[in-house]
């Protein structure tokens, strides 16, 4: 295989484009969340910076950049500085394997609309989502603060409660698609979305990704009101911004993955594939915000109980049932 | 089945918030939209005048005594005809809590609360209102009330000229 300049340029272009689009989406997701929560609570939300508050992300960005970057006394310097990146980077890395459209022809060669189509894309996602929790754990630990430490302990406890169920809920998808490759999984859903075959797995996966991106009702590591701000209590300025944006990138990425695994990825009638993919991602983002506006936070032990005693057995039973179904079908 | 009940509870909650997304907002965007307070709203304090145009305040110090934060101070003085008035009268609005006790304590209806709530200021010294800032030309909430028509006998009017009084009786005319 020869690699020439156009290939490199295409990949770099894709990476740059995805990076820009995701960061822009994440910034505006913050605004959308504030607006929607405000509407749910019969308020107006931000509407001062620009029409309908459209410049609010810019104002927030300027504010975060110009804030002082405080490091608490006794903090573990390098871990403290590294942790925000460790939270945000894996989140955006996961998007590399998500296909957001069918391969197209550009400059006389076939270009897939995803950065890399590795044959273990699903495992890549699970591995990187586990790495993301290191940002939470190390950030809280390096802060030298009891609230941050409690937040990161909760983050780890949460991780071992939902990560297994998340993995198990994806096994039926792999069994149906007969591949770990995300483009193959999407292709397998051309005629019928997997949510039809696997409603239970979808619900389990949905609950797991709520826990994965640390949002209400599973925002135990942050838990404002109990732990000040949880693992990022001691962070300020752009480092806090990185944690914050990382959370929203996570929302987009996990929404995209849920769409890829269960809602047929970019498949859809009439509209172009990329638009369909965007619609599905934004629908998930809306669901995340809507749920945040509705549900209270679960208690520490409730999440563990729910993860281990309810979701894991259900996911296992679901795998058995799927296997039985596939065997009987031949 | 608790699972069904719990799921139903979540869905009911989601439906409730869904409805509220499209509902009206209760926010009043202050500098552009201003809420009209009720007539008896307690905000900026004024000193009113009686229907004849004279100052109602008789500098009795009752408002000052009633004030829980001690923001009212004054100096009483007396006119030549014996009518009392405030030489100076000062309300420190940076301390005032707008409780309305001064207005309740006032025997002459001189000190009154108004619905004007926009008195914030960048310089705290501007919140020190002197008598000329406080005095208004109207009668406020008691348009017909004139303290001296009921009291102040022998000071501003002859004995027996008050509204609820009869003229003094010449005792000798009652003799048998």
Tell me which chain B residue has its CA closest to the CA of residue A48: B29
Distance from the A154 Cα atom to the nearest Cα atom in chain B, whole angstroms? 24
In A, which residues are within 8 Å of B18 by CB distance?
Answer: 290
**Distances from the Cα of A215 to the Cαs of A208, A233, B58, B89, in angstroms?**
11, 16, 65, 58
- In the predicted model, what is the mean pLDDT of residues A206-231? 82
Which pLDDT does position B65 carry in this prediction? Answer: 92
- In the predicted model, what is the mean pLDDT of residues A233-256? 86
pLDDT category of residue B156 using cuts at 50, 70 and 90: low
**Distances from the Cα of B162 to the Cαs of A296, B59, B139, B146, in angstroms?**
68, 21, 20, 10
Whether A3 has a pLDDT exceeding 70, the answer reads no
Whether A2 has a pLDDT exceeding 70, the answer reads no
Which pLDDT does position B101 carry in this prediction? Answer: 92
B17, A38: Cβ pair inside 8 Å? no
**What is the rounded CA–CA span in Å between residue A256 and residue B132?**
69
Phi/psi at B55 (5° precision): -65, 135
pLDDT tens sequence across A115-146 = 777 888 888 888 888 888 888 888 888 888 88
pLDDT tens sequence across B18-56 = 988 888 888 888 888 888 899 889 999 999 988 888 888
Which pLDDT does position B2 carry in this prediction? Answer: 83
- In the predicted model, what is the mean pLDDT of residues A155-180? 85
Which residues neighbour A66 within 8 Å (Cβ) at sequence distance 6 or greater? none
Residue A60 CA, distance from chain mean position: 22
Distance from the B28 Cα atom to the nearest Cα atom in chain A, whole angstroms? 9
**Distances from the Cα of B11 to the Cαs of A35, A218, A294, B4, B25, in angstroms?**
22, 17, 10, 10, 23
Q: What six digits make up the tokens of A190?
A: 């051309």
Distance from the B20 Cα atom to the nearest Cα atom in chain A, whole angstroms? 5
B29, A44: Cβ pair inside 8 Å? yes
B17, A293: Cβ pair inside 8 Å? yes
Interface of A with B (CB under 8 A): 36, 38-44, 47, 290-291, 293-295
Q: Of B13, B14, B21, which is closest to A39 when you measure between CB atoms?
A: B21
Whether A325 has a pLDDT exceeding 70, the answer reads yes
Which pLDDT does position A1 carry in this prediction? Answer: 54
User: A132 and A86 in contact (C-beta within 8 Å)?
Assistant: yes
Average pLDDT, chain B: 86
- Return residues 29-48 of B near A (CB < 8 Å): 29
In B, which residues are within 8 Å of A47 by CB distance?
Answer: 29
Which pLDDT does position B75 carry in this prediction? Answer: 92
In B, which residues are within 8 Å of A42 by CB distance?
Answer: 20, 23-27
**What is the rounded CA–CA span in Å between residue A49 and residue B103?**
43
Residue scoring higher pLDDT (B166 or A235): A235
Q: Of A38, A40, A43, which is closest to B17 when you measure between CB atoms?
A: A40
Domains, chain B: 45-163 (3.30.70.3270)
| B129 beta partners | B91
A294, B24: Cβ pair inside 8 Å? no
In A, which residues are within 8 Å of B24 by CB distance?
Answer: 42
Residue with tokens 């795998």: A319
Instruction: Write down the pTM of the prediction.
Output: 0.78
Whether A159 has a pLDDT exceeding 70, the answer reads yes
**What is the rounded CA–CA span in Å between residue B33 and residue B26?**
12
Tell me which chain A residue has its CA closest to the CA of residue B13: A294
A39, B22: Cβ pair inside 8 Å? yes
Angle between helix axes A56-66 and A5-40 (nearest 10 degrees) is: 100
Out of A123-127, A221-225, B97-101, B104-108, which region has the weakest mean confidence (pLDDT)?
A221-225
Which pLDDT does position B97 carry in this prediction? Answer: 92
Average pLDDT, chain A: 84
Residue B92 is classified by DSSP as: E
Which pLDDT does position B153 carry in this prediction? Answer: 62
Which pLDDT does position A88 carry in this prediction? Answer: 83
B25, A44: Cβ pair inside 8 Å? yes
User: A94 and A128 in contact (C-beta within 8 Å)?
Assistant: yes
- In the predicted model, what is the mean pLDDT of residues A55-82? 86
- Return residues 2-31 of B near A (CB < 8 Å): 10, 13-14, 16-18, 20-27, 29
Which pLDDT does position B155 carry in this prediction? Answer: 64
Distance from the B27 Cα atom to the nearest Cα atom in chain A, whole angstroms? 6
Out of A32-36, A242-246, A283-287, which region has the weakest mean confidence (pLDDT)?
A242-246
User: A98 and A253 in contact (C-beta within 8 Å)?
Assistant: yes
**What is the rounded CA–CA span in Å between residue A21 and residue A95?**
11
**Which range, A89-103, B11-25, B136-150, B159-173, is most confident?**
B11-25
Q: What six digits make up the tokens of A98?
A: 């998500």
**What is the rounded CA–CA span in Å between residue B37 and residue B44?**
12
Tell me which chain A residue has its CA closest to the CA of residue B6: A295
Which pLDDT does position A199 carry in this prediction? Answer: 86
- Select the residue from B8, B9, B14, B21 to test the A interface by mutation, using most A Cβ atoms within 10 A: B21
B13, A40: Cβ pair inside 8 Å? no
Q: Would residue A227 be called left, alpha or beta, if left means φ above 0 and alpha means ψ between -120 and 50 degrees?
A: alpha
Residue with tokens 């505006």: A28
């Amino acid at each position: 295989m020869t690699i020439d300049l156009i290939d490199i340029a295409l990949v770099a272009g894709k990476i740059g484009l995805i990076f820009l689009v995701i960061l822009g989406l994440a910034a505006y997701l913050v605004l959308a969340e504030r607006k929607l929560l405000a509407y749910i609570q019969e308020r107006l939300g931000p509407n001062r910076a620009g029409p309908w508050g459209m410049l609010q992300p810019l104002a927030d960005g300027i504010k975060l950049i110009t804030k002082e970057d405080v490091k608490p006394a006794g903090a573990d310097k390098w871990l403290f500085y590294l942790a925000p990146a460790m939270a945000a980077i894996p989140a955006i890395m996961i998007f590399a394997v998500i296909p957001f459209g069918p391969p197209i022809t550009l400059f006389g060669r076939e270009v897939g609309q995803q950065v890399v189509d590795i044959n273990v894309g699903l495992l890549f996602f699970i591995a990187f989502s586990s790495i993301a929790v290191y940002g939470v754990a190390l950030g809280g630990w390096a802060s030298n603060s009891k609230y941050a430490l409690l937040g990161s302990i909760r983050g780890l406890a949460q991780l071992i409660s939902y990560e297994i169920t998340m993995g198990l809920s994806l096994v039926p998808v792999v069994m149906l698609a007969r591949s770990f490759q995300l483009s193959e999984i999407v292709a397998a859903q051309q005629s019928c979305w997997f949510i039809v075959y696997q409603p239970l797995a979808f619900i389990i996966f949905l609950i797991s990704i709520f826990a994965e991106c640390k949002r209400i009702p599973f925002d135990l590591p942050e838990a404002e009101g109990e732990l000040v701000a949880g693992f990022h209590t001691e962070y300020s300025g752009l480092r806090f911004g990185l944690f914050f944006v990382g959370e929203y990138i996570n929302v987009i990425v996990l929404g995209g993955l849920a769409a890829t695994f269960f809602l047929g990825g970019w498949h859809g009638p009439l509209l172009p594939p990329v638009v369909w993919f965007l619609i599905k991602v934004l629908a998930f983002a809306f669901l995340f915000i809507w749920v945040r506006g509705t549900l209270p936070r679960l208690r520490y032990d409730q999440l563990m109980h729910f993860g281990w005693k309810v979701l894991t057995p259900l996911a296992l039973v679901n795998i058995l049932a799927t296997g039985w179904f596939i065997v009987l079908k031949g | 089945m608790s699972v069904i009940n719990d799921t139903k509870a979540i869905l009911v909650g989601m439906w409730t918030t869904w409805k509220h997304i499209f509902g009206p907002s209760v926010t009043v965007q202050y500098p552009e939209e201003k809420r009209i307070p009720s007539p008896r709203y307690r905000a900026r304090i004024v000193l009113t005048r009686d229907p004849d145009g004279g100052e109602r305040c008789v500098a009795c110090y009752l408002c000052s005594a009633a004030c829980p934060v001690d923001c009212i101070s004054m100096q009483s003085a007396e006119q030549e005809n014996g009518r009392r008035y405030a030489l100076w009268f000062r309300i420190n609005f940076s301390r005032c809590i707008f409780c309305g006790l001064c207005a309740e304590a006032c025997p002459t209806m001189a000190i009154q609360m108004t619905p004007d709530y926009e008195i914030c200021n960048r310089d705290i010294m501007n919140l020190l209102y002197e008598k000329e800032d406080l005095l208004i030309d109207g009668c406020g909430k008691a348009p017909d009330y004139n303290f001296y028509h009921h009291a102040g006998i022998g000071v501003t009017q002859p004995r027996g000229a008050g509204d609820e009084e009869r003229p003094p009786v010449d005792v000798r005319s009652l003799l048998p």
